[in-house]
Structure 1
Amino acid sequence: MIRERRNRAKLEQYYHKFITTGEMDPNVHPWVAESWQRSRDRGISRDAVTIKAKLTKEQLAARRQRYQAAISFLDGLYGEIRELFTTYNLSMLLLDYECYALKNYAMPFYQKTTGELEGARLTEADTGTSSISLSYRHKAPFFLFGPEMWIASCQNEEACSAPIFVDNQVKFVVTVVSIQQENLPHDTIIALVLSIKFAMEQHLSLVARLNAKHTILDAVPLAVYHILPGGEVSYANKLGLKRLAGIIPAGTTALAPAGEGPNLNEVLFNYRHTPIYKGFLGIPSYNREATWITGRKTYEDITTVVPLYDDDGEVGSIVAVSLPIEDLRTLVAHTAGYTARYSLASMVGKAGIFVAMQEKAGRAARHDHHTLLQGEAGTGKQRLAHGIHQGSSRAAGPLIAVKCSDLPPELLETELFGASAVRGEGRPGKLELANGGTLFLDEVEKLPAQLMSNLVETLIAGQLCRVGENVPRPLDIRVISASDGDLKRLTEKGNFLPALYDVLSKVVIRIPALRSRKDDIPLLAEHIIGELAGMHGMPPKKLSAEAAELIMSYEWPGNIKQLQSVIEQAFFRTAGDTISAKDITIPGETGLSRAWKEDKAAFIEAWNAAGGNISRLANMLDVSRVTLYRYLKKYGLDKE
């Protein structure tokens, strides 16, 4: 607040009148009058400043670090106008939003040395009426004449304070004090403080916006660069720095002023054939596949380059954004398996045993307990896991699936727990990727014994360590596991870790075999036909009565997956809109069950009918998996 020059003698009279009689002169500024009254009511000493609250050295250092942008700006500004402060005996103080003194410039305040004052709290409750307390309270600049100060020993000074706003909130207070008032008009001090306020607010606002942009750029899964003519990198985001670290010589910074950053022209052997070089010729590139050849490695990226023009219409610099192709492949692969593809409603049936199972699954979806799904191969355990995840509070999180029989123990451990960066292949495992969502462990009975122990410890502790490191990482997942066999019986026989069974089986859902709900088979077939038609953009088809009767007459040892395979073949084999009995080939009807042991062609036909699923084929042929593995080896076939 700009104030006209006041008569010093009259101000002194007003002050002493209030101090001695308690009577407030009407000529006292209203803000000052209210503050005097509060200072008196609080019993604040008028003789000298008493430091009531002060930060420790460590606390002050931490605040200075937090507010480095403001302090650095004021340091630079003070360095430019230091001579003015020296000539006119001015001093300056920077305070934070709680009125703790962060830094004292030039002469001391309140007759205190710099060491005494810095870190001290200077609110109205500490020092009484001051320009700091008035500016802070009313959130406006304020000039206070000496006789208006509450502390008598400071009344030979005049001060002007101003709040510094960032994002519409007071973040700092800056104050300038003058001792030789006759040498420097008070309106000059006001102008100085207002100038500092404006410049500082502009600077801090810019810093805040830049920090937000840097945070955004560091968060995106893209490498972002700002490149100057000749190939000098003046800026790179977090991923960009990581990529550059593998290209540029050790110790070179990737964020430097012009002439000091890494030069891509010197490290890229094919620089003149890259989109960057063409960008400086004014040729933009958008989502173009680019190859970067360096002395260490050849990189392949999807790159976008945009030229930036100066006022003369010349290309002054370029922005390059790139996504490593290997990252893109990983992203696509992960995305394909990170969301639920099915809902509980996609599982159809009217049989009482099925409806009861579906209702139990719906209840399981509404809480967060680990859930065990049990049922023969092909009964729909994977689809049910998707439905439970989609119906849960974790639906917005990832759904990560791991088939425990797919990998050898040493690879499965890394797949689940991830690998340490120390080993040169740092990456998260499926447990970590499932954070906030669901981990689906299919064929959980195939977990190696050591992994069972590690997994149960991890789930109980709620944190994991990647393979090769001792850094605990928080874990928040729900596990849905699936077993083709009776997991409890396997546990009782000593083939499965009891502690892990106890953790995974908080809820157990048994999925009925297809032969136990034969009346649902036509309904399931119609549902499969509808999904196929929608998936392939083809007209819907229907089953004839004879076809429905035929599929109901079979036992379906491979369950729904086997039914789906047969219906899929019939769907594409049928030219018209009705699938008849002759369009359907029932597995084993050509005598495969008897011929497969001696006839490779018969075995392959059965293998294909089972969709390459060893569990389904074992059910179809009524033999053990061990026997089938032996015949797979005999016929030179690979398990998919």
Structure 2
Amino acid sequence: MIRERRNKAKLELYYDKFVTEGVIDPNVHPWVGESWQRSQDAGVGRETFRLAVKLSGEELSKRRERYNQALTFLDGLYDEIKEHFTTYNLSMLLLDQELYVLKNYAMPFYQKTAGELEGARLSEEDIGTSSIGVAYRSKVPFLMFGPEMWIKDCQNGDACSVPIILDNQVKFIVTVVSVQQEELPYSAMVAMVLSIKYAMEQHLKLLSSLNAKHTILDAVPLAVYHILPGGEVAYANKLGHSRLSGIVPLGSEDKEEGPNLSTVLLNYHHTPIYKGFLGVPSYNREATWITPRKTYEDITTVVPLAGDEGDVDSIVTVTMPIEDLRTLVAHTAGYTARYSLSSMVGSSQVFTAMQDKAGRTARHDYPILLQGEPGTGKQRLAHGIHQAGSRAAGPLIAVKGGDLPSDVLEIELFGRGGSEAEGRPGKLELASGGTLFIDEVEKLSTVLQDKLAEALEAGFLFRAGEAVSRPIDVRVIAASDTELKRLVEKGVFSARLYEIISRAVIRVPSLRARREDVPNLAAHIIEELATLHNLPPKELAPDAAELIMSYDWPGNIKQLQGVVEQAFFRTTGTTISRADIVMPGEQGLSKAWKEDKAAFIEAWKAAGGNISRLANMLDVSRVTLYRYLKKYGLDKE
């Protein structure tokens, strides 16, 4: 609150009347009178300006570092007006939101030097009534005259304090004290302090907004640049700086100024950036950047920024390395590990030995070969190894050797060349930075085996129909249902590929080799089913557990899964008994479903409407089931 000049002789009388009689004259400003009363009640001394609470040098240094932006701004502003302070014997303080003095500018403050004052707390409970305390409490500027101050040592000067408010909270207090009021008009001092308040608030708000924007830009998986005419980089976000550090000319890495792209991009005049300065925007275009050090391929957007006269003043460029885009797409598509090594169930010696070896091997980065009978859990083990390794943050891409014809599988693995619309990366490229899991690797054609071995040895590949080499960085985990070494000896599997993928071999035991794990595996399957379908938990009766443990399980865990799922959905109660379990080879669900819609619907309900589960229950393929769904007019969902 900015007040008119007051008669100081009268103010002295009002002050004396209060301290001697405890009476607040009606002419005393209410905020001042209330502060006098609180100061007296708190027992604050009236004679001497004491600094009872003060930060240590280390604590003050930390606060100054925290509030560096405010200090830097006020330092710069004071440098411009310090002659004014010297001429009129003004002093100025910057206090933080807890009213600790961060810095003392210009003249001593009430006979206190900067060394004495900086770090001291100047709250109402410390020094009684002052413009600092009133401005802080009221959240408005306040001009206080000398006789209104609580401490007599401070009554020879007038003070004006302003709160610096950000987000509706007092963040700082700036206070200016004048001891030569006759030479400096109050209006001039007040105008100066209000100007400081406005400028400082606007500056800090702008910095806060910029910091938020910088944080956002640094968090996005994109390189963002603001580029001036001629190719000079005026701004780059965190990823942008990282990219630039790889293309600046050798020997200039320590220079603070950004690089000039026209000098470091050998094909600058053929890039979207150059076209942007001609007023031509580009959106999500594949661009090649050729530098003396490396060639980059990005997906690039360039937006020209027009000046007042309509000419292009600068451009904003947003790019994403194609390899990063592939990784992002892979993650978005769900190409991540769904299982950990600890999620695999078993306590038998042969199983725990395999699990321990997998954990040790996962820490290295070389290829791994998983060998075991069909259905033993090789895919789940591959997921666990990926998640336990250094590439866990990268994608996990899977391909099955026997799923597709050889020519189609080649494109699936290596990609297809061609135009921007026709070309696409293969799974080897998509897996860069992560893991490629090749299931049934023995079913790859010998031609494809040799081509895969060549790419893994070289560290780059060629897409089908293309002569451009593309780098790859993948860890291969291969799985085989048969003994690969024997296939190599027979000449039906590539010795070259076998040598690469068999650096570490993990043999996954069959269920008959670890019968004691079967009940726990079944219990785990039941728990997963109950959770997945939000159904009450069920348990195996002892006779049911004994039954499944006595079987050889030639189809291993996959076969066990099908039998347990049937029993789970057939059982109406919470206990799965021996009678609820239909073992492989026994009479299962009626075959009437092939001709009778009602029988099919009953089986469909028993499977909970899940295609994969029904396929296991009926021992048919998913393709067959889709045909019957269509035949009976049922919704596959």
> Under a length normalisation based on structure 2, what TM-score does the superposition of the two structures give?
0.60
Shift of 1:567: 2.9
Residues 544 and 373 of structure 1, relative CA distance in 2, 3 Å threshold: farther
Amino acid paired to 1:577: K
Aligned runs of 1:94-493 on 2, under 5 Å? 94-249=94-249, 260-337=257-334, 372=344, 403=379, 406=382, 413-416=389-392, 485=511
Residues 484 and 281 of structure 1, relative CA distance in 2, 3 Å threshold: farther
Residues 515 and 194 of structure 1, relative CA distance in 2, 3 Å threshold: closer
Contact 2:144 2:158 in 1 (8 A): yes
Cα deviation per residue 1:607-631 (whole Å; 9 max; x = unaligned)?
xxxxxxxxxxxxxxxxxxxxxxxxx
Residues 373 and 77 of structure 1, relative CA distance in 2, 3 Å threshold: same
Amino acid paired to 1:271: Y
Instruction: Report the secondary structure of 2:23's partner residue.
Output: coil
Contact 1:233 1:254 in 2 (8 A): no
Amino acid paired to 2:203: H
Residues in 2 aligned to 1:79 and 1:548: alpha-carbon distance in whole angstroms:
91
The equivalent residue for 1:514 is 562
Residues 572 and 77 of structure 1, relative CA distance in 2, 3 Å threshold: same
Cα deviation per residue 1:575-621 (whole Å; 9 max; x = unaligned)?
98369xxxxxxxxxxxxxxxxxxxxxxxxxxxxxxxxxxxxxxxxxx
The equivalent residue for 1:567 is 621
Instruction: Report the secondary structure of 1:305's partner residue.
Output: strand
Residues 98 and 516 of structure 1, relative CA distance in 2, 3 Å threshold: closer
Count of paired positions: 431
Contact 1:373 1:483 in 2 (8 A): no
Shift of 1:545: 3.8
> Under a length normalisation based on structure 1, what TM-score does the superposition of the two structures give?
0.60
Contact 1:253 1:261 in 2 (8 A): no
Amino acid paired to 2:243: R
Residues 339 and 18 of structure 1, relative CA distance in 2, 3 Å threshold: same
Residues 483 and 175 of structure 1, relative CA distance in 2, 3 Å threshold: farther
Instruction: Report the secondary structure of 1:577's partner residue.
Output: helix
Residues 427 and 120 of structure 1, relative CA distance in 2, 3 Å threshold: farther
Residues in 2 aligned to 1:216 and 1:23: alpha-carbon distance in whole angstroms:
58
Cα deviation per residue 1:532-585 (whole Å; 9 max; x = unaligned)?
xxxxxxxxxx94349989xx9xxxxx9977779943444688998369xxxxxx
Shift of 1:231: 0.6
Residues 35 and 242 of structure 1, relative CA distance in 2, 3 Å threshold: same
Amino acid paired to 2:511: G
Contact 2:597 2:632 in 1 (8 A): no
Percent of aligned pairs with the same amino acid: 59
Residues in 2 aligned to 1:243 and 1:328: alpha-carbon distance in whole angstroms:
15
Amino acid paired to 2:595: S
Shift of 1:154: 1.3
Residues 195 and 407 of structure 1, relative CA distance in 2, 3 Å threshold: closer
Residues 12 and 55 of structure 1, relative CA distance in 2, 3 Å threshold: same
Cα deviation per residue 1:114-161 (whole Å; 9 max; x = unaligned)?
011001100000011111011001111000011111111111111000
Shift of 1:49: 1.6
Residues 518 and 90 of structure 1, relative CA distance in 2, 3 Å threshold: closer
Amino acid paired to 1:100: Y
The equivalent residue for 1:577 is 631
- Which segment drifts farther, 403-412 or 327-336? 403-412
Residues 265 and 43 of structure 1, relative CA distance in 2, 3 Å threshold: same
Residues 515 and 295 of structure 1, relative CA distance in 2, 3 Å threshold: same
Contact 1:226 1:236 in 2 (8 A): yes
Residues in 1 aligned to 2:388 and 2:42: alpha-carbon distance in whole angstroms:
70
- Which segment drifts farther, 404-413 or 275-284? 404-413
Instruction: Report the secondary structure of 2:390's partner residue.
Output: helix
Residues in 1 aligned to 2:205 and 2:632: alpha-carbon distance in whole angstroms:
70
Residues 51 and 543 of structure 1, relative CA distance in 2, 3 Å threshold: farther
Shift of 1:169: 1.1
Residues in 1 aligned to 2:331 and 2:106: alpha-carbon distance in whole angstroms:
60
Residues 408 and 200 of structure 1, relative CA distance in 2, 3 Å threshold: closer
Contact 1:543 1:578 in 2 (8 A): no
Instruction: Report the secondary structure of 2:38's partner residue.
Output: helix
Residues 188 and 250 of structure 1, relative CA distance in 2, 3 Å threshold: farther
The equivalent residue for 1:78 is 78
Shift of 1:237: 0.6
Residues 519 and 371 of structure 1, relative CA distance in 2, 3 Å threshold: closer
Cα deviation per residue 1:78-123 (whole Å; 9 max; x = unaligned)?
0110111111111110000000000110011131110110011000
Instruction: Report the secondary structure of 1:181's partner residue.
Output: coil
The equivalent residue for 1:21 is 21
Amino acid paired to 2:325: L
Residues 144 and 545 of structure 1, relative CA distance in 2, 3 Å threshold: same
